[in-house]
Structure 1
Amino acid sequence: MTAFDDREKAFEAKYRLDQEQEFKARIRRDKLLGLWAAEQMGISGDAAKTYALSVVDVEFDATDRDAGHKIVRDFIASGITLDEAAIRHQMAVLLEIAREQIVTEMGRP
């Protein structure tokens, strides 16, 4: 095995780790988003946790577009007037928080 092969394998391993980290961060973001949305709708306790998991599940359900769209629909149904741009902003903020949490948990710089 050459140094080039070693370097290539190292890059591939880093890429896989980065992809795994990003996937975990997006799932964490969706959970945080669900908890935030539940709070906005007056949902608390176990019901809030259940709602947050339903937001995470949206990413794996082909019938829905994404977590943001679910929140928009649920807010409309609950009579909450928060536009999609505000929800997308919250998603961006929560994604950064989720990334920081995942990095800390994985012990990566």
Structure 2
Amino acid sequence: MSTFDERENAFENKFAHDAEMAFKAISRRNRAVGTWAAGLLGKTGDDVAAYELEVIKADFEEEGHEDVIRKLVKDLHGKADEATIRAKMAALLVEAQTKLMNEG
């Protein structure tokens, strides 16, 4: 195998790894923001887990995170505004990324 092929394989592996890590971080962020929102909605027990899944599923409606924000803005009307939701999601994404990096 040539050096070029080895470098190409290395770049492809890094791209796949980075994409997987990004997906995991976003999934963890969505679960965490679901937990946070469930608390604001007064949900407890199994209802929290069910709501987390609703938030995770909302993220598959379209590319990006606007679908999750729309869901949360609608569900949290009067409990949290859009700016608060966006800030919470950004903070939870950083937290999820940090945890993933520390795991190995």
**TM-score with structure 1 setting the length:** 0.85
1:101 is matched with: 99
Report how many aligned residue pairs link the two structures: 101
Cα drift, residue 103 of structure 1? 2.4
Residue 76 of structure 2 aligns to a residue whose secondary structure is: helix
Question: What letter matches 1:57 in structure 2?
Answer: K
1:4 is matched with: 4
**TM-score with structure 2 setting the length:** 0.89
Moved over 4 A (4+): none
Mapped partners of 1:87, 1:60: distance in 2: 18
What percentage of aligned pairs have identical amino acids? 44
Cα drift, residue 19 of structure 1? 0.4
Question: What letter matches 1:74 in structure 2?
Answer: D
Where do residues 1-109 of structure 1 align in structure 2 (5 Å cutoff)? 1-61=1-61, 65-76=66-77, 79-80=78-79, 82-105=80-103, 107=104
Question: What letter matches 1:20 in structure 2?
Answer: E
Question: What letter matches 2:51 in structure 1?
Answer: Y
Cα drift, residue 2 of structure 1? 1.1
**Structure 2 residues not aligned, in runs of 5+:** none
Mapped partners of 1:87, 1:34: distance in 2: 11
Mapped partners of 1:44, 1:61: distance in 2: 26
CA RMSD of aligned residues (A): 1.3
